[in-house]
Every structure is written in structure tokens, then in C-alpha cells.
Amino acid sequence: MTRAACAALLSHWRRHPGQCLTLILGLALATALWSGVQAINAEARASYDRAAAVLGQDQLDRLTREDGLPIPLAEYIALRRAGYLVSPVIEVELSDPGARLRLLGIDPLTTPPEAQAPALVGGEISFEAFVTTPGRLLVASETAARPLPPDLPPLVVTSGLAPGTALTDIATAARLSGRSDPSYLLVAPVQPSGLPPLAEATDLTLSTPQSGSDIGRLTDSFHLNLTAFGLLAFAVGLFIVHAAIGLAFEQRRTSFRTLRALGLPIRRLVTLLAVELTAFALIAGLIGIILGYIVAAALLPGVAGTLRGLYGAEISGQLAFRPVWAVTGMGIALIGTAAASVQALMRVARLPLLAPAQPRAWAMASGQAMRGQMMFAIGLFALAFLLGAFGTGLIAGFACLAALLVGAALALPSLLTALLRLATRFATTPFREWLLADTRQQLPGLSMALMALLLALAANIGVSTMVGSFRGTFTGWLDQRLASELYVTARTPSEAAAIRAALRPRTDAVLPIVSAPVTLAGQPAELYGIADHATYRDNWPLLAAAPDVWAQVAAGEAALINEQLSRRERLAIGDPVTLQPGWTLPIAGVYSDYGNPVGQAIIGLDLFTDRFPDVPQLRMAVRVPPDRVPAVVDALRAEFDLPAANLIDQEEIKRFSLRIFEQTFLVTGALNILTLGVASLALLASLLTLAGMRLPQLAPIWALGQTRAALARAELARTAILAFLTFALAIPVGLALAWVLLAVVNVEAFGWRLPMQMFPVDWLRLGLYALLAALLAAAWPAWRLANIAPSTLLKVFAHER
Amino acid sequence: MNARLWIPMLLLTTGQALSQGFAGLGTDAEGFAVPAPDPQFAFPADHGPHPSYRIEWWYLTATLTGADGRDYGIQWTLFRSALRPEEAEGWDAAQLWMGHAGVTTEDAHFYAERLGRGGVGQAGVTPDPFEAWIDDWAMISTAPTGADALSALELTARGADFSYDLDLRATGPLVFHGDEGYSVKSADGQASYYYSQPFYEVSGRLTLPDGPTEVTGSAWLDREWSSQPLSADQNGWDWFSLQFADGARLMGFGLRSATRPTYTSATWIGPDGSATAYPDGALRLTPLRTESVSGRDVPVEWRMELAARDIDVETVALNPQSWMGTSFPYWEGPIRFSGSHEGRGYLEMTGNE
């Protein structure tokens, strides 16, 4: 009996291979998007952990100076000679515009074993080569493959290092960076017996490793973002699965009844169906994981670019297969299938043995259920409003987004019904009136697919509005911020002086750019000194300012801080900001500083050189009429033999910055398009389901004299109407989404708030896409209707199936 | 004496196949100076480092008795190993330093190791005033002006579970091994400069996990430098220092070879410091009993015969598990001997695989 039942159930899929394909495709796509996003996140986390584990930073205490400056060599030696087991590290960043490399110089003779420095004795790396000139740089294979600063010692490719980081001997790091004082000291966990506690022996700050890396915390928001997108894609994918399972169960209703009548126990039937669905889930899950891997591998370089651009976080551009996300991907495929099919299975379980088939019964959701949905949706809107208005933190932001989207999806059927009812009043012919009424009547069957479409469209509008607003603000900001025409970096202080002297007669102004690392509000930050010049007064993008802000800064009486710092620490104009221990200035202005993850402050140049006399003035911004830039560049290049990287004009920096920006949102765009594709598939699956069941409704119209072609056109028109209405409703939802993204999520994730801009042309294009997608989805069912055998329609009257 | 350490230290620093047979030449292929016969020592300069030689050490061992009546042994060693035959300032590593410290009791053995590079001040040796140090471990001269810098020392070291602080006062002169301090190490002619101060009286304090103990006893300092490894066939080293009841001392070592008989050498030191060197073969060393130490079979009882001095003794380790599990592991600990003579001494064994 079981075997016969199996054969009967499976024969359905043989006869409907398209349906089988839809089901598997839907499930596979949903799993693919979800597990792809998870794979990217897993890869990024692994990269952060690797970076955090370099030199045992995840478990070793460290000694640093409170002001963030290097520790004098003598202070390190004094600690060693007092008996403490501390080990010096010189950490510097070698950078020119095209290449960046973080250099970690260690002293392998004193590095604690817990730092897990690569084995230098008995390993493939020669200790002598490592510690003697020119030294060696240990790097990951992908670091070796990318462009690097010039004149480096020989590279040795080693596993276990984060990309963009080179491990080397402290002497090599000292030579390449020109400084010999350690950046910080690693503290061995076991100190010799009989010594006073280390904290009592030094003024340096002892910091214990924190759980989770800094960069991991910084990028949490980005990964949460990705996860939210993955979840959205998965939810949309589930609509397809739901529709496909609904269709398959509906069409097999007669088989179920026959099998039951032949004596198959209901429990066994349900079990068989569950087994069948599980098999589908496993196959589709496997395909999904493979697809997910492909999606992730394709997107990862973009994500890596994003993270590097936004946070300076280095992640590997190569995807490793990690069982964790594969297993979770399979799990989510199974859970998703269960969620999508539970309703259908319950219906089968309750199927009355001898009752006549009621093909339309399940689709006829009662008005009461719709009202319930609407009430729930209103509740969610209220929640979204409260979260948006009063919530704090990234989680609240995303919860607000979720409430908004789910509420909109739940409200959709009621809203569409209302709109269609309204439209009926303006119907001029009975056929049109029937069309609208019939559309309304079909809504419950299509609502799932339409909800999916709404989610996809709203997400698309929301995210593209956010990205568009960001791009608009960002380009405007770049124009302000990069007011100088030319940026020059000298190699030595004397060369800098010579360049300044050479430039002065040929240009309008030469403005030095100097900076020093400082600690602002307990976090690493950058302090800049700027000259008193119209370039800043006229262009600098201030968000808030005291009346005489530039005079105060020039006089060394006040500082400017960036928006990130201002928001994070809730600092406003007039508040004091501590730039170094015991050195505090009032804040005279807050400026926007997009694309920079850390805090920043600006003071007058004179005050800066007073405080940091040792910081060399190597960089300078040059004001020169744009048409004379090439001449000045050529002259400087000829006179000082400066490398290309040390002479950059404004246009080049802008191009570079915009490229980073575009890269940043590459992934978002790709996920957007994929989501829309998935939603279209859901629509197709739902329409196919309905097409099979709707013959009893269509047959009378046909019998009344409408041609099959006219009916098919009506089908297309109906789908177009629904898609258009859904799109129209998606616009306000999408804009609300964009507002939450800009005003809540962005502020939490990046520390800046952006003004919202509208892009109606983009909406129009998206509307056309949606219409096109809906028509494509409706085309096949409509074509089938146009070519249906009249006898099939007649049969509706002959027997009630 | 620490011959076995030559090999790994040289491997560590040059990473290339050992060269040999440079005896008698002024420098080797990489520009390092090579010991030559008839040395002329100049003090205090020669108590300090000789950076143009590859390898050098300040090696002190002491047999001690605690106020509790128990026997103890301590070791304090500073090794120098050159990457280049020069001194360098800053992080640029031309000279590497390695410190070993150990404390042995009947039932426990404590040890610690420190590494560092010269040029930044973490480790080094200055001849005048004399100080040898790595981190907070130090051997500092407390000798009065005019006296030999090594005639009085303060010695400190500290590990995770032990520390000591000892005062040393020499009751005899420096002693030069081999031919006036030129000590031959193999039949092929490998040699080093080698002298000792074997006459220290010691007092001070050991601090072990159980608490501090006041100790007294006697100590022996070896000074040795060279640029030459052992012969290629030599694979290990057994070094003895013995103190006799009348104040006489005996230094003896055997260099084990895979293909030839063990190469032995000995110096008899009279109570007045007069030294008599004995050539290869005069000293006979016979292992009597081995024990498994850190997974190796190590001879912990020996028969020592020096017929020329009517010496025929058997040595027993205070603690057979005196294993220095440092980067380059070896056995080093206090011994007692009996037979024709009785007394205490120190034993070092390397190359026991």
C-alpha cells in the first residue's frame, strides 16, 4: 500500500516537471541567498579573528601609553631590567595611495609563546635572515599578490596572517618606519616570582584583551545589515515555496482522496508527504548551499572592498568552505520547507474522506481573517513608529525596519481590496466590473506572492534611496572637503621645505597637513592641524559651528570634531574635548566626515606644532588655478623626482573615493536585484497555482461569449493591475524604509546622518521592471488559457471534478 | 663548559652547514676571529665580551648547603652568540644573548631562560665596572679597586618559581686551562680561550616555592670564547668540576665522538691555584648507570680516573632529574663523589639523545 501510495504521489511530479522545478528552485534560491550571506559573514569573522589573534592580541595583556604615543625605548628596557617579561612591538602603517601595509615588528627573542609568532627555529623561515638586514616580511599569500609599497625586504608567504598585515623583526620595522620606540608592549601571562604587580611598576596603561576584536565590533553593524538582507531574501524565497507546495497539494487533492478511499491511513499519508517534502528540502538545500557558495564567492571581493573602504577592516577575498554555514543553510532549508508546508499538511490531515473536492475553498480567505491581518499590521506600524522615534541602538533600528516591512506586507491584501473596490465604482462595462471583482476574489490566493513583491520593491526603493542620498551627499561633501587642487607628500622634512619654497611663487597657497594619533574619549583617533586659510573657511563642511569658529581655531582657542565623535560621545558646540591628558579645548564646530570609521579632531596649525614639535610636515595641500595644475605637477616631478603616488590631484582622489563608495554598495545592489528576481518567481508560481483552479470561474464567462484570447488578455491585465497597485503601495513603504536606514541605522552603524533625497526616475524604472516581471510571470498562464481546448472548459459544466 | 650548545647556537645564528678546520687561521670565512695559541690576556678587558668571536659565555655553578642542612646547587649562565663580528646599536641584532638559571635540590629542579639582543641594553657585559646581565639577572663585580674584577661578585636571577641572591668572594687566583688558556677541543685542533675562577666562597639566599633559605658553599666560574664548533663527528660533551677536601680542584671533560674514542682533557688545580693540564687520554670517564630523564637515557653515575693524580672516584647526582628543558636542553646539576677522594662538584652533560 505504501509503495503504491508513493508511486501515486510521485507520479504527480513526473507529470508536472515545471512545478517540481519551481519548488526546488524557490527553495534553492532562498537557501542560496541566506547561506551566501552567512558564508560572507563567516569568512569576515574568521578574518577578524585571525587579525585579532596575530601576536596573541586576543589573550595577551598589553602596555600602552595613555596618549597613544610610542613607548620610549628606555622605558621598555627599564621594565625588562626590573624583571618583567614584556615584549616590544613596533606597529606602523606603510601606505601610499595605491598600497597599504600594516607592519608588525616583533622581537622574537622576547615574544611570549602565547603570542604564537611563527616558528623561527626549525621552521622554514631562517631566524638569522629574519633578524638581520634586510630582514624578511611574513605575509599571507594574498597580501603578497596585491600591490605593496615599494622597497620592501623580501617577502615570505606564511599561513595564519591576516591580509594586509606583515610580520617582521622589530629591527626591520624600525628601519622601514624610521622610529625605534615600541608602539606597545606585550605582557607575558606568567611573570617571575617575587615581583610587585606590573601595574605598580609603571605609568603605562595595562589593558587586558577584550572579547571580540575592535574591528569585529566596528563591523558588526555591517554584518547585521547583510544578515537582514539575507533573511529578507529567504523570506521572499519562502513565498515561492509556499506557492509551489500549495499548488502541488491542490492538484493532488483528488489523488489524496482516492488513496484515502482505498484505505491508506491518514497518518501514513501525511507521513509520506512530509518525507517527500523533506527529500525536496534536502535536494534543494544542497543545491542552495552550492549556489550560496557561488553567490558568496562572487560577492566577497566586493564585500572585502566595502569593509576596507568603510572600516579599514581587512578580510580575505577568498572564500573558504566552512561547515558551519553549510549546516545552518541546510537547517534553514528544512525549517523553511516545514514553515511553508505546515498549512498544506494540516489541510490534508483534516481532509474529509468522502467530501467533494472544493478546489477554491482554501483560497477563499474570509474577510474576517483579512481584518485580523489588518489590525495586526496597524499594531506593527505603531511599533515601528515607536522604535523609530524612541528606540536606540542598531537592533532597535532593524526591529523598526522589520515591523515596518511585515506590517506593510500584512496590510497589503486589505489595502488592495479597498483599492479594487474603489476602482469597481468607475468600471464602465460589465466585463470590466467582473474583471475587478474577480481580481478582488483572487487576492487571497495571490496575496502571498504579492506580499513578496511588495517586500522586494519596498526594499529596493528604500535601499536605493538610501544609497542615492548617500552618494549625493558624499559627492557634494568631497567637493567641499577636497577644495585644494593638488596634494603633495614629501619624503623628508628637508624635501618638504624645498617643495614649499618651490611652490610658493607658482601657486596661490601651500597649506601644510599634519596629523598625530591621539586618544579621544578612550578610542584611537586622529588629530589634525590646519592653517588659517580661506580654503577652510569657505569650504569646510561644517554641520554646526560657533559664530566665530575659524577665528577661534586659528587662535588655538577651540577645536573642531567630526560628526562620528560628536554623535558617539554626544558632544556639542561649547563642550570640552580632551585631546591629550590634561589638555582640553572647547568644541567650536562639528564637520561631516564620511567614510572614516574613527573619531577626528582639528586644531590650529600653530597650536599643533607647539604640542607636537616632532611631527614632520611632509604633506601639503596646494591651491592653484585648475588650468595650471598639470604644469605645477610636471615641474615638481622634474625638480624633485617625486614618485607618482606622492603627487595627487583633486580629481584623482575624488575618483578613488567614489570608487570605494561604489564598491561599498555593490553587494547591496546585487542582493536587491536577486530579491526582486525571487519575488517574480513567487508571482509566477502563484499564478500557475491559480490558473489550474480558476477554470470553474472562467468557464461561465467563456460560455457567455468572451473569447479565450480576451480572457487571456484579461488575465494579463489583472496581473498588471495588481503589480501596479502593489508597486504604488511599495513607494511609501520604501521611503519609510529609507528614512529608517538614513536616520536610525546609518547613525548607529557609521556615526553619520544623511539628508534624504528622492529619486522619482528610479522609481519609474523600478515600476516598469515590476510590471515587466509581473507580465512575464503571467505570460505563460495566459498563453495556456488562450490555447486551452474548449472541451476542457466545457468539462467544467459536465462534471464538477 | 657547554660544548653542545655551540652546535645549536651556531645553527641558530648561521643556519648553514658547520665549517671546520680553521684552527690556526686568523679569521674564518665569515670574518670571525679564531683562537690562536699563546694568548695574551688583558684584564679587566678580557672579562668583557669579545664580539669578533662567534660564541662566548660567563658560566657559574655553585654547590651549596642550606641552613636546613640540605644540599643545593645553582647555575647562572650568560651566553653570547654573534650574528656578525661587531657590536651594533639599536634593534639591529648583531649580538644575541641567552641566560640560563637553575636551582637544584634533592627532589626538585628549577630553571629559567632569557633571550635578548645586544644594542638596546636588555642584555650585555661591561668589563669595567664589571657587570654581566640579561633583564634583571645580573653578575656584578663587588671587588675593591685594584683587585681582579671577578674576585668578588653579586649574583642574582629569578624564574617563575625561584630566585636567588648570592655573594661570592674568591679565595684564589684565576686559573688558565690547556696551554695558558688555549684549550684544544679535538684531535683536529678546534680550540677555545678558556679560564676559570674556581675558588669562590658563597653566601646568600635562595627563594623556592617553600620559602627562602640561607645558603653557603663554593662556586666555580668559567669564562670561554671561541668561533669554532666541535669536530663534525663530535656529538656530545660531559664536563666535571670537583672540589677536594684540601682545597684542590679538578676540571675534566670528555668530548664524545661517533667514530673516534672520547677526547678528554683535564686540569688539576692545586689549593694555591697552580694548574696542571693533562692531555687527551689522561682522564678516563666511564658511565656506570643511566636513568631516563625527559625521555632520554642519561648517565647519572660516573667513574672518573686520573691515574697521574691517583684519582679514582665514582660520582652520584644530587638529583638525577637535573634537566634544563631550555631552548637547547641539557643536563646540569650538583654531584657528590667518593672513592679515592670525597667531595662535591658539578656535572654537565649534553648531546644525550
Q: Which residues contact A764 (CB under 8 A, 6 or more apart)?
A: none
Q: Would you state the pLDDT for residue A490?
A: 82
- Would the CB atoms of A180 and B91 count as touching at under 8 Å? yes
What is the number of domains present in chain A? 3
Q: Is residue A225 domain-resident?
A: yes
Q: What is the dihedral of CA B50, B53, B55, B59, to 10 degrees?
A: -30
Select from B4, B13, B166 the least CA-distant residue to B101.
B166
Task: Say whether both A157 and A236 belong to one domain.
Answer: no
Of the listed ranges A185-199, A271-285, A291-305, A533-547, the one predicted with least confidence: A291-305
The minimum CA-CA distance between B293 and chain A, rounded to whole Å, is 23
Q: Is residue A151 domain-resident?
A: yes
For residues A679 and A452, the answer to whether their CB atoms sit within 8 Å is yes
Q: Which residues contact A724 (CB under 8 A, 6 or more apart)?
A: A767, A770, A771
Q: Which residues contact A500 (CB under 8 A, 6 or more apart)?
A: A510, A512, A620
- Residues of A within 8 A of B136 (CB-CB) are 80-83, 192
Amino acid at A614: D
Task: Say whether both A50 and A119 belong to one domain.
Answer: no
CA distance linking residue A93 with residue A100, whole number of Å: 7
Q: Would you write out chain B's pLDDT as a tens digit for each of its 353 residues?
A: 333 333 344 334 333 333 333 333 345 657 888 899 999 999 899 999 999 999 999 999 999 999 999 999 999 999 999 988 888 888 987 899 999 999 999 999 999 999 999 889 999 999 989 999 999 999 999 999 889 999 999 999 999 999 999 999 999 999 999 999 999 888 777 889 999 999 999 999 999 999 999 999 999 999 999 987 667 777 788 999 999 999 999 999 998 888 888 999 999 999 999 999 999 999 999 999 999 998 899 999 999 999 999 999 999 999 999 999 888 889 999 999 999 999 999 999 988 76
Q: Is residue A639 domain-resident?
A: no
Condensed to tens digits (0 to 9), the pLDDT of residues A254-278 reads 788 888 888 888 888 888 888 988 9
Task: Give whichever of A18-22, A116-120, A243-247 has the largest mean pLDDT.
Answer: A18-22
H or E element that contains B9: helix B3-14
pLDDT of A120 above 90: no
Condensed to tens digits (0 to 9), the pLDDT of residues A781-798 reads 888 888 888 888 888 777
Chain B residue with the nearest C-alpha to that of A133: B92
Q: Is residue A746 domain-resident?
A: no
H or E element that contains B207: strand B191-208
- Would the CB atoms of B158 and A110 count as touching at under 8 Å? no
Judging by DSSP bridges, how do beta strands A184-187 and B234-244 pair with one another? Answer: unpaired
- Residues of chain B with a CB closer than 8 angstroms to some CB in chain A: 12-15, 83-84, 90-93, 96, 112, 115-117, 120-122, 133, 135-136, 158-163, 207, 327
Q: Would you state the pLDDT for residue A219?
A: 64
- Would the CB atoms of A193 and B207 count as touching at under 8 Å? yes
Domain final residue, candidates A182, A208, A234: A208
H or E element that contains A667: helix A666-693
Select from A734, A739, A773 the least CA-distant residue to A754.
A739
Angle between helices A666-693 and A266-311 (to 10 degrees): 160
H or E element that contains A355: none
pLDDT of A641 above 80: no
Task: Say whether both A10 and A98 belong to one domain.
Answer: no
Chain B residue with the nearest C-alpha to that of A191: B160
Q: Which of A79, A109, A179 is the mutation pick for testing B, counting most B CBs within 10 A?
A: A109
CB under 8 A, 24+ apart: contacts of B204-207: B204/B155, B204/B164, B204/B165, B204/B166, B204/B167, B205/B164, B205/B165, B205/B166, B206/B64, B206/B66, B206/B72, B206/B74, B206/B103, B206/B162, B206/B163, B206/B164, B207/A193, B207/A194, B207/B162, B207/B163, B207/B164
Condensed to tens digits (0 to 9), the pLDDT of residues A519-575 reads 887 777 888 888 888 888 888 888 888 888 889 988 989 999 988 888 888 888 989
Task: Say whether both A174 and A204 belong to one domain.
Answer: yes
Condensed to tens digits (0 to 9), the pLDDT of residues A615-624 reads 778 888 888 8
E strands along A34-181, which residues?
61-64, 86-96, 99-106, 137-139, 155-157, 165-169
A529's grid cell = 592641524
CA distance linking residue A717 with residue A439, whole number of Å: 10
Domain final residue, candidates A600, A624, A648: A624
CB-count exposure of residue A484 (10 Å: 0-12, 13-18, 19+): buried
- Would the CB atoms of A171 and B96 count as touching at under 8 Å? no
Condensed to tens digits (0 to 9), the pLDDT of residues A567-611 reads 888 888 989 988 888 888 999 999 888 766 678 899 998 999 888
Handedness of CA A358, A364, A367, A371 (dihedral sign): positive
Q: Is residue A250 domain-resident?
A: yes
Q: Is residue A708 domain-resident?
A: no
In chain B the domains, ranked by start, together with CATH numbers, are: 3-13+28-350 (2.40.370.10)
Q: Would you state the pLDDT for residue A664?
A: 61
CA distance linking residue B235 with residue B243, whole number of Å: 27
- Give me the mean pLDDT over the A382-408 stretch: 83
- Residues of A within 8 A of B139 (CB-CB) are none
For residues A41 and A227, the answer to whether their CB atoms sit within 8 Å is yes
Q: Is residue A326 domain-resident?
A: yes
Confidence at A117, pLDDT banded by 50, 70, 90:
low
- Give me the mean pLDDT over the A719-730 stretch: 88
- Give me the mean pLDDT over the A182-188 stretch: 90
Q: Is residue A748 domain-resident?
A: no
- Would the CB atoms of B12 and A121 count as touching at under 8 Å? yes
Task: Say whether both A222 and A353 belong to one domain.
Answer: yes
pLDDT of A31 above 90: no
Q: Would you state the pLDDT for residue A357?
A: 47
For residues A545 and A588, the answer to whether their CB atoms sit within 8 Å is yes
CA distance linking residue B182 with residue B199, whole number of Å: 21
Task: Say whether both A200 and A231 belong to one domain.
Answer: no
Condensed to tens digits (0 to 9), the pLDDT of residues A447-470 reads 777 887 888 888 888 878 888 887
Q: Would you state the pLDDT for residue A484?
A: 82
Task: Say whether both A312 and A352 belong to one domain.
Answer: yes
Task: Say whether both A42 and A158 belong to one domain.
Answer: no
Task: Say whether both A169 and A225 belong to one domain.
Answer: no
Neighbours of B285 (CB within 10 A): 20
Task: Say whether both A334 and A237 belong to one domain.
Answer: yes
* B309 HSE (CA, 13 A, CB side): 26
Q: Is B104 helix (H, G, I), strand (E, B) or coil?
A: strand
- Give me the mean pLDDT over the A315-344 stretch: 79
- Give me the mean pLDDT over the A651-660 stretch: 74
Task: Give whichever of A79-88, A230-239, A684-693 has the largest mean pLDDT.
Answer: A79-88
Task: Say whether both A200 and A239 belong to one domain.
Answer: no
Buried-state track A383-409, b at ≥16 Cβ within 10 A, e below 16: bbeebbeebeebebbbbbbbbbbbbbb
Task: Say whether both A143 and A201 belong to one domain.
Answer: yes
- Residues of B within 8 A of A131 (CB-CB) are 83, 93, 117
Residue range of the domain that includes A289: 1-58+218-357
With a cut of 0.85, is the ipTM above it?
A: yes
Domain final residue, candidates A313, A341, A357: A357
A776's grid cell = 512575464
CA distance linking residue A20 with residue A252, whole number of Å: 13
For residues A592 and A580, the answer to whether their CB atoms sit within 8 Å is no
CA distance linking residue A544 with residue A556, whole number of Å: 19
Residue in the structure block whose three cell numbers are 542598531: A394
